[in-house]
Amino acid sequence: MKIWPERCIYPTYHELMEEQTLSTVFETFGAQTTVVLIVALIGLIPVILYRQKTPRWFVLAYGFLFVAAFATNFENVLLPTALNLTEHFVGNLGAGVAFAVAAYTYRRQHIDTEGTGGEA
Amino acid sequence: MVGDQIIPFVDATATLGFVAAAGIGVRNYQDTELERTFWASFVLVSVTGALWMGLVTVEWLGISGELMDTLSTSLQAIVLGVFSVGSIGTMAVVADLKESQAETERRRAEAEQARTEAERSKEEAETAREEAETAREEAETLNDHIETKATSFSAVMDQAAEGDFTQRMDPESHNAAMTEIAESFNGMMDEIEATVARIRSFADRVADSSREVTTGAEESQRASEQVSDSIQTISADAEAQSEQLREVAAEMQSLSGTVEEVASSADEVATMSRQAAETGRDGQDAATEAMDEMTAIETKSQETIDEIESLADEIDEIGEIVDVINDIAEQTNMLALNASIEAVRAGEAGDGFGVVADEIKQLAGEVADATDDVETLITEIQTSTDTAVADIREMGDRVASGTETIDVALDSLDEIASKVEESNRSIQEISAATDDQATSTESVAGMIDDVAEKADQVNTESENVSAAAEEQTSSLTQVAQNTRTLSDQADELQHRLSQFDIDETATAGAATTASRTATADGGAKERTTNRDSSGGGR
């Protein structure tokens, strides 16, 4: 026997719980940083798929970026000081250095050697 | 906190890293072709990253706000998204393109190589075709020439086949093979001609030799019969010899046993001799010790004599003392007598004195008696001492005599010990020699057994040889019969060889050489001579 009509104007218990959960997440992480974390997680997919064809330093550079995104989101939940230091010392600094090293290493190994037949 | 103070510098360094990456990315973009899309994306991401890090650094310097946070977070999301999807994806595509390009280049190089090889094969085929055409024309010309020469050669061969060995081919030809055939044929004919000549001569000698061999075989047959008889006699003698050797072997076995017994006895005598030598040495040692003891006794007896003589002298001195005491006793008796007289003369006052004088007189009398006893004893002692000295001197003389006797016995024992030792050495040598003799006797017995066995073998072999000699006699009978048949066949051979035509003057030398060789070694070098002459013909 149905208690509620077919189209109820009031939200269900589950709908209320979902709204409450999302609001809790955004209050905890912040909407923008959550987006950053989602983008970082989605970006892992091509990186994992093409890791064999991608030079090691580029994969490492994305790894540092992911660490920075992870630490940015979770520093408000647990270990705020440690994750803040991890974000800056590991994620940000590592990403900047890894980008420069990746570009330079690729140039040394694939571009500069082309003139001397190294590419072959 | 120190970490918070360093964070602006860390972020500034990261900013510089992104800027450097953007600069290098621009250069890479300029220097590459396939990866340009990737490097454009990479430069974009690097610049965006530099902006993001720049904003983060500025926030630490105090310039902040919601707009700055929004911009910073947005730029971080752009960096993540564009780098993962754009740059990494583009890099994978570029990698695929490079692999495809490398594969295409490799296939093109293989095709080019295959084309070059095909052209080279085509040129080789063309060259081979031209060479084949030239060879065909030459072969046709040569074929005509060869046909002409073959006709000529066939005529010569026909005449040679009919028995005319003087025919020769013309070696002049355009074809080396035909020239070689002609020369080989001519050489062969030279050899055949010379061989026929030698065979004729050899057949003559075979006929003569066959007759001689027939005579020789008959003589050998008779000699073989004699040999057979002699060998039968030898067989009988060998059997008798074998029997005698068996008897000798039995005697030697007995002798070997006797010699072994003698060797055993010699060993026992050697042992006893060794013990006698040791006993002699022990007796010598005992005699030496007795000698030493006798010398000690002699010394001791001399000392005893000296002491007894000293005792006699002292006893004489005691006698003299006893005489003195005796004189004193007599004088004391006289004094006692005088005192008694004086006591009597003194009257009543001298009664005590007279008693004392009587006592003294009595004591003097006892002293005189005692001295008499002492003198008697001294006399007896002197007598005994003299007797003892005499006995001891006699004993010393006997000891000296015994010492001389022992000395002589010691010399005799020395001599006995040396003789026994010498006898021991001789007996040891005899024992060793007897052992050697026993070993030698056993060896001789073994050798005689071997000789007897060999004699049996000789007997058996003699019987075999006798049988072989009989078979030889039978074979020689067959040989004599065969040599007669050989003589008949040699005559037949002479007749058949006379049907061949040869140049007698040209082959005389070869026939003479063959005759000499056949005479020298009975024809064993016939083939060598033929080989030499054929080589010279070519």
Q: What angle do CA B8, B12, B17 make, to 5 degrees?
A: 145
Angstrom distances, CA of residue B435 to CA of A31, B35, B252, B264: 125, 111, 16, 8
Report pLDDT for B255.
Answer: 82
- Name which of A26, A29, A36 to mutate to probe chain B: the one with the most chain B Cβ atoms within 10 A of its Cβ: A36
Q: Which residues of A touch B89 (CB under 8 A)?
A: 46, 50
Residue B164 sits at φ, ψ, to 5 deg, of: -90, 95
Are B92 and A54 a contacting pair at CB < 8 A?
yes
Are A43 and B73 a contacting pair at CB < 8 A?
no
The CA distance from B220 to B212, in Å, is 12
Angstrom distances, CA of residue B238 to CA of B163, B449, B458: 64, 15, 7
Interacting residues of B77 by C-beta distance below 8 A, sequence separation 6+: A32, A35, A36, A39
Report pLDDT for B28.
Answer: 93
Helix orientation angle between B176-346 and B89-161, rounded to the nearest 10 degrees: 110
Least confident of B129-133, B277-281, B293-297: B277-281
CB A61 within 8 A of CB A38: no
Report pLDDT for A5.
Answer: 47
Which residue in the set B24, B31, B81 is minimally distant from A100, CB to CB? B24
The CA distance from B479 to B64, in Å, is 141
Closest approach of B119 to chain A, Cα-based (Å): 28
Note the pLDDT tens digit of each residue in B444-491.
878 888 887 887 887 788 788 778 878 877 887 787 778 778 777 877
Q: Cβ of B7: how many Cβ atoms within 10 Å?
A: 21
Which residue in the set A33, A53, A96 is minimally distant from B14, CB to CB? A96
Nearest CA in chain A to B16: A96
Interacting residues of B242 by C-beta distance below 8 A, sequence separation 6+: B452, B455, B456, B458, B459
Q: 3-class SS at B175?
A: coil
Are B18 and A100 a contacting pair at CB < 8 A?
yes
Closest approach of A114 to chain B, Cα-based (Å): 10
Which residue in the set A39, A55, A111 is minimally distant from B28, CB to CB? A111
Q: Cβ of A66: how many Cβ atoms within 10 Å?
A: 20
Helix orientation angle between B2-31 and A93-106, rounded to the nearest 10 degrees: 20
Q: What angle do CA B367, B368, B373 make, to 5 degrees?
A: 95
Q: Based on the number of CB atoms within 10 Å of its own CB, is A2 exposed (0-12), middle (13-18) or buried (19 or more)?
A: exposed
Note the pLDDT tens digit of each residue in B153-204.
888 888 888 777 888 888 888 778 788 888 888 888 888 888 877 777 777 7
Only one residue has tokens 């454009």, namely B40
**Structure tokens that stand for B536 in this block:** 């010279």
Helix orientation angle between A13-29 and A31-49, rounded to the nearest 10 degrees: 90
Are A111 and B69 a contacting pair at CB < 8 A?
no
Note the pLDDT tens digit of each residue in A11-66.
565 665 565 555 565 566 677 788 888 999 999 999 999 888 889 999 999 999 99
The dihedral through the CA atoms of B409, B415, B421, B423 has a sign that is: negative
Using beta carbons and an 8 Å cutoff, which residues of A are at the interface with B?
Answer: 32-33, 35-36, 39-40, 42-47, 49-50, 53-55, 58-59, 61-62, 65-66, 68-69, 72, 81, 84-85, 88-89, 92-93, 95-100, 102-104, 106-107, 111
Q: Cβ of B277: how many Cβ atoms within 10 Å?
A: 21
> Looking at this predicted complex, what is its ipTM?
0.77
Report pLDDT for A2.
Answer: 47
CB B406 within 8 A of CB B318: no
Q: Which residues of B touch A107 (CB under 8 A)?
A: 24, 27-28, 31
If one compares B211 and A46, the residue with the highest pLDDT of the two is: A46
If one compares B293 and B509, the residue with the highest pLDDT of the two is: B293
Are B10 and A58 a contacting pair at CB < 8 A?
no
Report pLDDT for B5.
Answer: 79
Which residues partner with B501 through β-bridges? B164
Burial B443-461 (b: 16+ CB within 10 A, else e): ebbeebbebbeebbebbeb
pLDDT band for position B534 (cuts 50, 70, 90): very low
Q: Which residues of B touch A32 (CB under 8 A)?
A: 69-70, 73-74, 77
Which residue in the set B11, B28, B88 is minimally distant from A54, CB to CB? B88
DSSP B384-411: HHHHHHHHHHHHHHHHHHHHHHHHHHHH
CB B524 within 8 A of CB B202: no
Determine the average pLDDT of the residues in B248-255: 81
Residue B427 sits at φ, ψ, to 5 deg, of: -65, -40
Only one residue has tokens 């002298």, namely B313
Note the pLDDT tens digit of each residue in B304-359.
888 888 888 888 888 888 889 888 988 988 888 888 888 888 888 888 888 888 88
Which residue in the set B10, B73, B92 is minimally distant from A50, CB to CB? B92
| The amino acid at A32 | Q
List, in sequence order, the alpha helices (H) in B162-175.
Answer: none
Interacting residues of B3 by C-beta distance below 8 A, sequence separation 6+: A81, A85, A89
If one compares B212 and B50, the residue with the highest pLDDT of the two is: B50
The CA distance from B487 to B197, in Å, is 19
CATH number listed for the domain at residues B186-486+496-527: 1.10.287.950
Report CA dihedral (B308, B312, B317, B319) to the nearest 10 degrees.
Answer: 140
| The amino acid at B77 | A
Closest approach of A115 to chain B, Cα-based (Å): 11
The CA distance from B19 to A97, in Å, is 10
CA-derived radius of gyration, chain A: 23
Least confident of A111-115, B43-47, B427-431: A111-115
Burial B382-420 (b: 16+ CB within 10 A, else e): eeebeebbeebeebbeebeebbeebeebbeebbebbeeb
Pairs of CB atoms within 8 A across A/B = 135
Are B69 and A104 a contacting pair at CB < 8 A?
no
The CA distance from A79 to A18, in Å, is 27
The 3 state secondary structure assigned to B365-391 is HHHHHHHHHHHHHHHHHHHHHHHHHHH
**Structure tokens that stand for B162 in this block:** 């009919």
The CA distance from B237 to B230, in Å, is 11
**Structure tokens that stand for B127 in this block:** 């060259």
CB B465 within 8 A of CB B245: no
Among candidate residues B251, B261, B275, the one with its CA nearest the CA of residue B435: B261
Among candidate residues B69, B72, B53, the one with its CA nearest the CA of residue B8: B53
What are the residue ranges spanned by the domains of chain B? 2-129, 186-486+496-527
CB B214 within 8 A of CB B483: yes
Q: Which residues of A touch B44 (CB under 8 A)?
A: none
Judged against a pLDDT cut of 60, whether residue B47 lies above it is answered with yes
Q: For all residues of chain B together, what is the average pLDDT?
A: 81
Among candidate residues B433, B434, B424, B430, the one with its CA nearest the CA of residue B261: B434
Q: 3-class SS at A79?
A: coil
Note the pLDDT tens digit of each residue in A63-120.
999 999 999 888 888 888 899 999 999 999 999 999 999 999 999 988 888 654 433 3
CA-derived radius of gyration, chain B: 76
